[in-house]
Structure 1
Amino acid sequence: MRFQPTQEQRALRATVRSAVGRRAGGGSSWPLGGGAEPGDSQPRVDREMWRALGELGFFSLRLAEADGGVGLGLPEAVLVFEEAGRALVPGPLVATHLAAGEVPGAAEGEVVVAAADGRLVEWLDEADVVRRGAEGAVPLRSVDPLTPLHRVPAPARTDPVAVLLTAAEQLGTATRVCELAVQHARTREQFGQPIGAFQAVKHLCAQMLVRVEVARAAVYAAAVTADRADIAAARLLADEAAERGARDCLQVHGGMGFTWESEVHLHLKRAWVRAQRAGGATESEELLAADLTV
């Protein structure tokens, strides 16, 4: 079985990368996404960007053409969410994507949708529509200042598609931080040579690349099989690739990786937040353990 993207899928990914790059001002991320500034406790969804994503078909990608959607499948959704993760696109992307076809305006990007996912709700105060078990939500201080969070008293149902799309976003972050680490290792010099010439830095970059490619294979395979156990495995590998990769990238960058001018620390914080979605690693581990004992 082949899991490599087709020419059409690669073109779709390139289109999304170009579009989100333009929205980010020509860069690869929204370093202060959603209108937030350093220290701003009230990040906001960029409504113009949200409508642009709707026009691109980001939210309606899996909606049938007869219902006004693009009519593609889960593999294509994984590719576009990977690009969103790579670019740190802010906002409740997964919740709005899953609401397309059910909540009027969600598919077109005219409506921002939030939903309880496990015990967390992202972007609750910015949402036009709130779905699934957000009753009693209370504000929670988020490790990522660009992703406002609320906690709900009872865990909401886990949607395997939400788990896979989260894994795709984590894969995007893992890919991006690997690129950033390699770029910095090639250009930053110490003792008259690029730091990438030092064995310790080489090992960090090589380990990051291995984790990225293993996670990519698992995420793409799960998008094809749509099997819950495959999705759980992909999620665990993508979480590891994103979190460990971002930490290693910070090591390569040194202290400058923590500054607001650098996107590295934002990828790490976003990866930490995503890792808590949809039951977190624990739920995926339990699902895999149950599958192995059958």
Structure 2
Amino acid sequence: MRFALSPEQEAFAASLDALLSTLDCDTATRAWGAGDHGPGLKIWRRLADQGLTALTTPSHRGGLAEEDGTGATTVDAVLAFEVLGRFCPPGPWTDSAVLPCLLDDEILASAAAGETLVSLAFPPYLPFALDADIADARFLVDGTSLRGFTPGTPLTSLDSSRRLFEPVPGDELGPALDPARAFDLGALLTAAQLLGAGRHLLEMSVAYAGQRRQYGREIGRFQAIKHLLAEVVTALELARPLLHGAAVTAEPADVSAAKVACGDAAHLAARTALQVHGAIGYTAEHPLGLRLTRIRALTSAWGTPAVHRHRVLAAIAP
């Protein structure tokens, strides 16, 4: 079987990329981390108008997904979240996308429209709730049950824009529809963001290597720099088919393989970007830092690398 993106899918990803390139996501992300949610919420609403928050919601709840497969698919969601990873806008994007796997309720319509922000806690894989302080709806996956929760102690994240809170369990709301599918989708969309962030760091590194001069020539002309960047290209290009394949099959082992590969490739891109940029990459003002901390935080979100490697091993071991 030959898998290739359709022209419509490529155009959708390109339209999101074009839109986000006109928005100041870096400033919004920094403001979000400082407690000013206004700029980030404006970006949230703009992307909701483009249908991003409705990609995984069934049509009978106001979303774009159809049961017969004619509407938005998981591949479409992965493409969208890869673009999100490139620009790193703040907000609980993955939580909102996963919610349709956990319940079938009227709240899905407002979430799909971008009017309701959702915060999820999914222990042990997602023990802390993202942006619970400003979320309109909060859900805690307790085994096979779904509970509400209130935000407890705020916690510090490596990524200052990821505002985490300990969930204080509330009343039971009923059974969770498909927790296993919710976890896999969350891990898959997190992998997509990692891949997008890694690809963006590669582009930044290539551009900088073509501008920075040492010893009378651009550093990108040195063989050592070329080798570093080539290794990143290889890692990212090998991870992307795993990501898209997992979006098609939805097999847990495939999802975990994609999460590991995208995380490793993004980490390599981050490490190489620091080597190429040098001291300027360590400054808080440089856009490189936003992707570095986001990659570090997302690598362990929705299952650590050890968790996902164990799932792959369990699937292939005799």
Q: TM (normalized to structure 1)?
A: 0.90
Could you tell which deviates more after superposition, 188-197 or 280-289? 280-289
Write the distance in 2 (CA, Å) between the matches of 1:246 and 1:17. 21
Instruction: Provide the residue aligned with 1:83 in structure 2.
Output: 83
Instruction: Provide the residue aligned with 1:19 in structure 2.
Output: 19
Give deviations 1:35-64, integer Å, cap 9, x for gaps: 618xx6435262222222211110111333
Query: Is residue 68 from structure 1 mapped to residue 76 from structure 2 by the alignment?
Result: no
Write the distance in 2 (CA, Å) between the matches of 1:216 and 1:43. 34
Instruction: Provide the residue aligned with 1:94 in structure 2.
Output: 94
Instruction: Provide the residue aligned with 1:256 in structure 2.
Output: 280
Query: Is residue 36 from structure 1 mapped to residue 21 from structure 2 by the alignment?
Result: no
Amino acid at match of 2:75: P
- Residue 186 of structure 1 deviates from its aligned partner by 0.9
Q: 2:161 aligns with which of 106, 123, 146?
A: 146
| Bigger fraction of residues in strand | 2
Write the distance in 2 (CA, Å) between the matches of 1:251 and 1:15. 32
Query: Is residue 132 from structure 1 mapped to residue 140 from structure 2 by the alignment?
Result: yes
Write the distance in 2 (CA, Å) between the matches of 1:113 and 1:67. 16
* CA distance 1:34–1:129, shift in 2 (3 Å): farther
Instruction: Provide the residue aligned with 2:53 in structure 1.
Output: 59
Q: 1:105 aligns with which of 96, 110, 116?
A: 110
Aligned 8 A contact 1:43 1:147 in 2: no
Give deviations 1:251-285, integer Å, cap 9, x for gaps: 10011112233211111100111112122112211
Write the distance in 2 (CA, Å) between the matches of 1:35 and 1:208. 27
Write the distance in 1 (CA, Å) between the matches of 2:114 and 2:60. 18
Aligned 8 A contact 2:121 2:128 in 1: yes
Q: Secondary structure at the match of 2:121?
A: strand
Amino acid at match of 2:120: A
Write the distance in 2 (CA, Å) between the matches of 1:201 and 1:115. 41
Aligned 8 A contact 1:120 1:149 in 2: yes
Give deviations 1:78-121, integer Å, cap 9, x for gaps: 00000000111111101112235642411011111111142122
Amino acid at match of 2:266: A
Instruction: Provide the residue aligned with 1:282 in structure 2.
Output: 306
Write the distance in 2 (CA, Å) between the matches of 1:261 and 1:97. 31
User: What pairs with 1:101-250 in structure 2 (closer than 5 Å)?
Assistant: 102=105, 103=107, 104-117=109-122, 118-133=126-141, 134=149, 137-152=152-167, 159-250=183-274
Give deviations 1:159-211, integer Å, cap 9, x for gaps: 10000000000010011001111111111111110001112211111111111
Aligned 8 A contact 1:119 1:153 in 2: no
Which blocks of at least 5 consecutive residues in structure 1 are unaligned? 25-29
Aligned 8 A contact 1:43 1:148 in 2: no
- Residue 137 of structure 1 deviates from its aligned partner by 4.2
Write the distance in 2 (CA, Å) between the matches of 1:224 and 1:77. 11
Could you tell which deviates more after superposition, 102-111 or 211-220? 102-111
Write the distance in 2 (CA, Å) between the matches of 1:244 and 1:44. 31
Which blocks of at least 5 consecutive residues in structure 2 are unaligned? 65-70, 142-148, 170-175
Could you tell which deviates more after superposition, 130-139 or 266-275? 130-139
Give deviations 1:217-262, integer Å, cap 9, x for gaps: 1101111111110000000001111122112101100111122332
How large is the RMSD of aligned CA atoms in angstroms?
A: 2.2
Amino acid at match of 1:130: R
Q: Secondary structure at the match of 1:62?
A: coil
Instruction: Provide the residue aligned with 1:2 in structure 2.
Output: 2
Write the distance in 1 (CA, Å) between the matches of 2:267 and 2:166. 22
Aligned 8 A contact 1:35 1:44 in 2: no
